[in-house]
Structure 1
């Protein structure tokens, strides 16, 4: 029995990046021998074991045989005769197919170190084409290693896979998992670019694909193209270290512009409502978490109103705050404001622009939220108010609180 560190741990060490987790592959062993040596079995689909002391994952060297479309259509074969080279050959990219033995020696049968030095993402073998998840993994690795290029032969293979319908067999949960990981990488725009170049974006995220080639008013969008704007927004979200929910909202905020009739370009009147419907539909299709879905819907519907908050009076500001359900979901409201700031700054040459709407709405909300509504309600009931009249009294008092706070700040 021999064991080797494989995959990301070897790759990241060679790149001088932090190594947080180590995965091992074991050659020349059996499940029975692993258990006898004290390892704990945990794998469901193939033999994986936890080391008795370190608890690091150890997988038996294995090969796979394609039996059906999609990423689940495999039969896994693991026995002592499977070599390290056999195991590495089934991996996705050459940079992930480098192993290291217990003495530190590298085993690199597929020239992963060469591609690391050349900054190239290249598939290991034709086995890449058997698993459509590898298209998503390629795209998110492009978002992580954004100064790496994709080998032409790998992109050609991706196109063949898409044309063969392989991506259509992906289950929503796996698409969401890989998409979410890619959105959290340093350059999410590269994920969209790679998926689009390979033809997979139109299959997986057609709502996003439709944004490319759609113009916007140049006065507000120097980049003009809506797809380019989305890429800038996603990269701005990464630069501002936004959480996943905010990044997903950024992905969805302008989807309605892809459905504007060409004779209405470059304006997109009413795109907010269309964006909300498309965002909800996309989130449902991907089975995205509820918090991501609801934030995306709020941002899609209200982002243009939030952008023009400085033009609104206290009553209108309060109505906007209420539509965002800020009093019940203050954290979500804060994230919506962050997403809108990212949208405003995700424009060519405007990455450092000020965004006064966010602090303005934050102050307005804080003033309204600080109001002792129980006291206001009690006073209204003392005057004989009931039901909607009490709610109206609270609303008016909140608007007055916002007006007072903003007047005090301006010195009026």
Structure 2
């Protein structure tokens, strides 16, 4: 049997990026031979094994044939007769279909190295259209690689449009959509994820609440970029810059202005009450995608409170206390830090304002810290109990906020 390093480990090494998981494909071996060599089988749908020493994944070379609708409808064939090229042919993009032999030799039957050098994301073959998840994967790869200058090949984008128009995206289960979205939000440019899906006419099927923002105008004096969809893109990228790798902050940034799509046409380009209107679509999107509760709660808080944080200099101490309490910021202190980060991303995610100062974030954090410094045990030591204790703690925290 012959072993090759494949996929992302080869691609990222050629791009000079830090190595991630190392996956291997094994050619010319059977399940029995792998077990006899000490590998432990872990794959259910197809033969995947863990190396006895390194614990790295090793999969038998395999082919796939479409057998039904959606991304799960595949028949897998793996045996010693399957060649390395057969295995690489079933992969999604040419840059992921490069193998490295143990002596360092590259096996590149589909021109992946050439596409890496040209910074092009290109499908391997026509079988690309058989798996609708690949539309999302293309967008997610662009979220990671667009800052390196990557673009989607025109013929690949055409296939993605064909898949979107054919309704195949409706077969994707919410958990997989969220998985790809979360990875995109942890990447350098979540905006490229949105732009790629929109270019493929797929954003309206995947994230209709976000797609509805495009074409909705905002006041140019506050938003030089004018379009609400473009603002969403800028905010998502700014959030990725301020909180790199944090999909919790990223998701809240994505949702913060969803209410602008629901502004009555006769009030545009003003968006009165958009923070309240945005709660319903945020909840709807979170429910549909089965988003974790922590992400949903922060997104709703940011949607509801971001204008209050922007004008924190105008708020009374008691109002700041109520804001922190509404966000559960006394029980979960990190939430206020996250809210401050999303609000900074909102303020700086505007045309020409990426370097603008946002002192409100530091002020919100400072006022929360002052309130948290009030110790309940000190108040309890005075003999105050029951409802009176809660009121005394509230007043002490408000006084500390006022002093700060």
TM-score (norm 2): 0.96
Deviations 1:132-162 (A, max 9, x none): 1111111111111101111111011001111
Rounded to whole Å, the distance in 1 between the matches of 2:115 and 2:145 is 12
Rounded to whole Å, the distance in 2 between the matches of 1:42 and 1:201 is 35
Aligned to 1:396: 395
Aligned to 1:409: none
Report if the CA contact (8 A) 1:377-1:394 is conserved. no
Aligned to 1:233: 235
Rounded to whole Å, the distance in 2 between the matches of 1:115 and 1:404 is 60
Report if the CA contact (8 A) 2:8-2:20 is conserved. no
Q: Give 1:378 shift.
A: 6.3
SS in 2 for 1:64: strand
* Structure 1 pair 32–269 and aligned structure 2 pair: CA distance change class (3 A): same
Aligned to 1:61: 61
What is the 5 A alignment of 1:3-402?
Answer: 3-146=3-146, 147-242=149-244, 243-376=246-379, 381=384, 387=387, 389-402=388-401
Q: Give 1:254 shift.
A: 0.5
Q: Give 1:391 shift.
A: 3.4
Rounded to whole Å, the distance in 2 between the matches of 1:397 and 1:86 is 70
Which is further off, 212-221 or 319-328?
A: 319-328
* Structure 1 pair 51–264 and aligned structure 2 pair: CA distance change class (3 A): same
Q: Give 1:371 shift.
A: 1.9
* Structure 1 pair 21–373 and aligned structure 2 pair: CA distance change class (3 A): closer
Rounded to whole Å, the distance in 2 between the matches of 1:228 and 1:78 is 46
Deviations 1:27-77 (A, max 9, x none): 111111111111110111110111122221111111111111111111111
Deviations 1:318-359 (A, max 9, x none): 222222221111111211111111111111111111112112
Rounded to whole Å, the distance in 2 between the matches of 1:268 and 1:169 is 35
Which is further off, 197-206 or 267-276?
A: 267-276
Report if the CA contact (8 A) 1:380-1:393 is conserved. no
Q: Give 1:127 shift.
A: 1.1
Rounded to whole Å, the distance in 2 between the matches of 1:100 and 1:402 is 60
SS in 1 for 2:278: helix
Which is further off, 80-89 or 11-20?
A: 11-20
> For structure 2, which runs of at least 5 residues remain unmatched after alignment?
none
Aligned to 1:410: none
Rounded to whole Å, the distance in 2 between the matches of 1:17 and 1:392 is 55
Rounded to whole Å, the distance in 2 between the matches of 1:210 and 1:10 is 38
Rounded to whole Å, the distance in 2 between the matches of 1:241 and 1:400 is 31
* Structure 1 pair 57–386 and aligned structure 2 pair: CA distance change class (3 A): closer
SS in 2 for 1:193: helix
Report if the CA contact (8 A) 1:334-1:362 is conserved. yes
Which is further off, 233-242 or 212-221?
A: 233-242
Rounded to whole Å, the distance in 1 between the matches of 2:358 and 2:154 is 41
Report if the CA contact (8 A) 1:377-1:393 is conserved. no
TM-score (norm 1): 0.94
Rounded to whole Å, the distance in 2 between the matches of 1:178 and 1:371 is 42
Rounded to whole Å, the distance in 2 between the matches of 1:21 and 1:397 is 51
> For structure 1, which runs of at least 5 residues remain unmatched after alignment?
406-412
